[in-house]
C-alpha cells in the first residue's frame, strides 16, 4: 500500500440545494466506504456546520458529495480553492459550465458533439416573442430551466397550447429556459472515471416507470430500472462511450462525470447534459455502471478520492 493508504478526508454532504436529501444519502455511503478503506473521515454539512469545521479538521482531501446548487456549480469548489484544500472531481470552471445547460450545449455544438436542437428563452423576452421563439423548435419539445438539476421545472410539451405554461414553470426556476427538441428513443447514461486517462463505463439504460426520468423516477426505489448493457446495438454503445468521453473533455471535466444521452432507434446518439457530481449511493447510476465493469463500490470511492490528489 502507498503512503496515501490512510488519509484525513472530509466528506461534504447535505447543503442547501433541492437535492439535499439525495446528497445526505450519497455522503453517508461515501463516508462509510472511506471508513472501510481505513481513512479518517469527518462528515460536514455546509448548510448546518458552515466551513469552519473544515479548516479546523485540515483534511488531506475533501470528498464532495453535494449535488445541485452551491455543490455542483463551482461555488464550493471556489471556497475550497481559497482555503488551499484539494477536492474530488471537476474544477470551479468546469462545474459551473456543466451546471448551465445553455453554455454546455453551446460547447457541445462547437465541439461537434450532437445535442438536440434548441433555443434559449429568457425572462427578459416579452411573453409573446418568447412563445414564438419556442414554437420554432417544433412540437413535441422539452422545456427546462437552464441551470437546475434533477428534473426540477422540466416539462415535456406535446401540444403547442401547453408551451406557455411550461415556459412559465421553467422561468420560475431560472432566468433562462432551454426549449429543446424532444428525442424519442432509449435513454442512457455513461459514467466517465479517471483523472489522467478517463475511461467510459458500460452504457446504462434507464427505464423510468413514469413518462420520463423525473424526480420521482430518480429517487424512489422501484420507480426506474437500470439495464446494463443498454439494449442498443454494439455500434451505438461504442458511440455513446466515445461521445461521453468527448463531452467530458469538451466541458473540461476532471476525475469523473456522468453523461446523459438519448439514442434513437436507428442508433443516432444525442447528448443531453453532463453531471459533474452524480449520485453516489450504492444504487445510483454511476456505481451501478462501475459494478458492471467489475469495480466494487468501495473501490470506486477510492478511485474518486484519488482524483483529489496530484497525478
List interacting residues with ligand ADP (CB under 6 A). 116, 142, 144, 149-151, 154, 180-183, 187, 212-213, 260, 262, 272-273
Q: Which does 247 bind (CB under 5 to 8 A by kind): ligand ADP, Mg ion, none?
A: none
CA distance 257 to 252: 11
Taking the CA atoms of residue 287, residue 291, residue 296 and residue 302 in that order, the dihedral angle to the nearest 10 degrees is: -50
Assess whether 275 carries a catalytic annotation: yes
Q: Which does 188 bind (CB under 5 to 8 A by kind): ligand ADP, Mg ion, none?
A: none
CB-CB neighbours of 229 under 10 Å:
15
Backbone φ, ψ for residue 144 (5° rounding): -140, 150
Minimum distance from residue 175 beta carbon to Mg ion (Å): 20
Of the candidates 257, 261, 239, 237, the one whose C-alpha atom is nearest the C-alpha of residue 249 is: 257
Assess whether 19 carries a catalytic annotation: yes
Assess whether 210 carries a catalytic annotation: no
Grid cell digits, residue 196:
489522467
Stretch touching Mg ion by CB under 5 A, among 61-69, 81-89, 96-104, 259-267: 259-267
Q: Which does 47 bind (CB under 5 to 8 A by kind): ligand ADP, Mg ion, none?
A: none
Stretch touching Mg ion by CB under 5 A, among 50-58, 228-236, 242-250, 256-264: 256-264
Assess whether 258 carries a catalytic annotation: yes
Assess whether 17 carries a catalytic annotation: no
Which position among 100, 187, 205, 260 is part of the footprint of Mg ion (CB under 5 A)? 260
Minimum distance from residue 53 beta carbon to Mg ion (Å): 32
Assess whether 213 carries a catalytic annotation: no
Quote the distance between the C-alpha of residue 50 and its chain's center.
Answer: 24
**Catalytically annotated residue among 95, 147, 257, 275:** 275
Q: Are 35 and 19 in contact (CB under 8 A)?
A: no
**Catalytically annotated residue among 150, 217, 224, 257:** 150
Q: Contacts with Mg ion in 98-127 (CB under 5 A)?
A: none
Minimum distance from residue 96 beta carbon to Mg ion (Å): 17
Assess whether 279 carries a catalytic annotation: yes
Assess whether 256 carries a catalytic annotation: no
Contact between 187 and Mg ion (CB under 5 A)?
no
**Catalytically annotated residue among 87, 118, 219, 256:** 219
Is the Cβ of residue 19 or residue 260 nearer to Mg ion in the bound state?
260
Is the Cβ of residue 70 or residue 212 nearer to Mg ion in the bound state?
212
**Catalytically annotated residue among 187, 260, 288, 302:** 260
Q: Are 145 and 173 in contact (CB under 8 A)?
A: yes
Active-site residue list: 19, 150, 219, 258, 260, 273, 275, 279
Q: Which residues are near Mg ion by CB under 5 A?
A: 260
Amino acid at each position: 500500500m502507498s503512503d496515501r493508504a490512510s488519509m484525513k478526508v472530509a466528506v461534504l454532504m447535505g447543503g442547501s440545494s433541492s437535492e439535499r436529501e439525495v446528497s445526505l444519502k450519497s455522503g453517508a455511503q461515501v463516508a462509510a466506504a472511506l471508513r472501510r478503506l481505513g481513512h479518517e473521515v469527518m462528515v460536514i454539512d455546509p448548510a448546518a456546520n458552515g466551513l469552519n469545521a473544515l479548516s479546523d479538521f485540515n483534511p488531506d482531501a475533501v470528498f464532495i458529495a453535494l449535488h445541485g446548487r452551491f455543490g455542483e456549480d463551482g461555488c464550493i469548489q471556489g471556497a475550497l480553492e481559497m482555503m488551499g484544500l484539494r477536492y474530488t472531481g471537476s474544477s470551479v470552471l468546469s462545474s459551473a459550465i456543466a451546471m448551465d445547460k445553455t453554455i454546455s450545449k453551446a460547447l457541445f455544438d462547437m465541439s461537434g458533439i450532437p445535442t438536440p436542437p434548441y433555443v434559449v428563452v429568457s425572462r427578459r423576452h416579452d411573453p409573446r416573442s418568447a412563445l414564438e421563439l419556442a414554437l420554432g423548435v417544433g412540437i413535441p419539445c422539452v422545456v427546462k430551466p437552464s441551470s437546475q438539476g434533477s428534473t426540477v421545472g422540466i416539462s415535456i410539451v406535446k401540444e403547442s397550447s401547453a408551451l406557455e405554461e411550461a415556459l412559465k414553470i421553467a422561468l420560475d426556476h431560472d432566468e433562462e429556459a432551454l426549449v429543446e427538441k424532444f428525442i424519442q428513443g432509449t435513454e442512457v447514461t455513461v459514467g466517465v472515471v479517471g483523472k489522467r486517462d478517463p475511461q467510459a463505463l458500460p452504457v446504462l439504460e434507464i427505464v423510468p416507470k413514469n413518462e420520463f426520468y423525473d424526480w420521482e423516477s430518480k429517487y424512489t426505489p422501484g420507480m426506474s430500472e437500470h439495464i446494463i448493457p443498454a439494449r442498443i446495438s454494439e455500434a451505438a454503445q461504442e458511440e455513446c462511450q466515445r461521445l461521453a468521453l468527448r463531452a467530458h473533455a469538451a466541458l473540461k471535466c476532471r476525475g469523473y462525470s456522468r453523461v446523459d444521452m438519448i439514442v434513437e432507434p436507428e442508433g443516432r446518439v444525442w447528448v443531453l447534459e453532463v453531471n459533474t457530481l452524480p449520485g453516489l449511493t450504492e444504487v445510483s447510476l454511476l456505481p451501478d455502471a462501475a459494478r458492471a465493469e467489475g469495480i466494487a463500490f468501495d473501490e470506486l470511492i477510492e478511485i474518486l478520492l484519488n482524483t483529489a490528489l496530484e497525478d
